[in-house]
Amino acid sequence: MRITRREFVAGASLMAVAGSVLLQSSLPAFAQDLTNEELLRPGPLPDLVQGKDDAPVTIVEYASMTCPHCAAFHKATYPELKSKYIDTGKVRFIFREFPLDEIAVAASMIARCAGGDKTMAMIDVLFNSQNTWAIREPIPPLMQIAKQAGFTQKSFEECLADQKLYTNIVAVRERASKEYKVESTPTLFINGKVQRGEISIQALDKVMQPYFKS
């Protein structure tokens, strides 16, 4: 089932689509190890980057805003990853959209429309409040969250009506699927090495330590 843009903006029922998130996010991934050079080729949208360009480790995350496993990673692992590694210059972190449904596309659009440093902050807020808006009628709660970040009703509606942004976010997913074989979320590439699904900070420590020692 695919919801049209008009139906989505009008707040039509998305229960059938939203219900597919748990199924799709649990499917086995077929991503393969890649080089950072392959991963970092410019894509349809500017990358959302945190950390230093010359950090010894680059992590690229593909995530869907409606994926509960992605939300769990951003609640449990990401804060410590940021404070311990990103903020200290050891890790460059790149977030890329891999929406599993129309609600996820909308949430990603709102985050992108926030602009600048507010985009990653909005992503954090949306993951932390996922259970309040990834529901049958997502528009009202998403609007409330957006208004807290400075959106007006007009700017919120204009954001969701931005066809170019919509197309580009979907294109980020399509590129990841075709070129990098990403099929589930979250998928992380740690210096090109694939990590499928949730991962604890302790497990990340073990994966990253060899790069810090070299």
Per-residue pLDDT reduced to its tens digit, 22-40: 334 434 446 788 999 999 9
Residues 155-172: tens digit of each pLDDT: 999 999 999 999 999 999
> CA–CA distance from 158 to each of 14, 144, 154, 213 (Å)?
20, 15, 6, 48
Helices and strands, counts by H and E, the chain: 13, 5
Q: What's the CATH fold of domain 5-208?
A: Glutaredoxin (3.40.30)
Q: Amino acid letter at 107?
A: A
Q: Is 10 helix (H, G, I), strand (E, B) or coil?
A: coil
Residue 14 sits at φ, ψ, to 5 deg, of -120, 20
Residue whose C-alpha is closest to residue 36's, from 213, 202, 211: 211
Residues 60-96: tens digit of each pLDDT: 999 999 999 999 999 999 999 999 999 999 999 999 9
Return d(Cα 110, Cα 119) in angstroms, integer: 8
pTM: 0.86
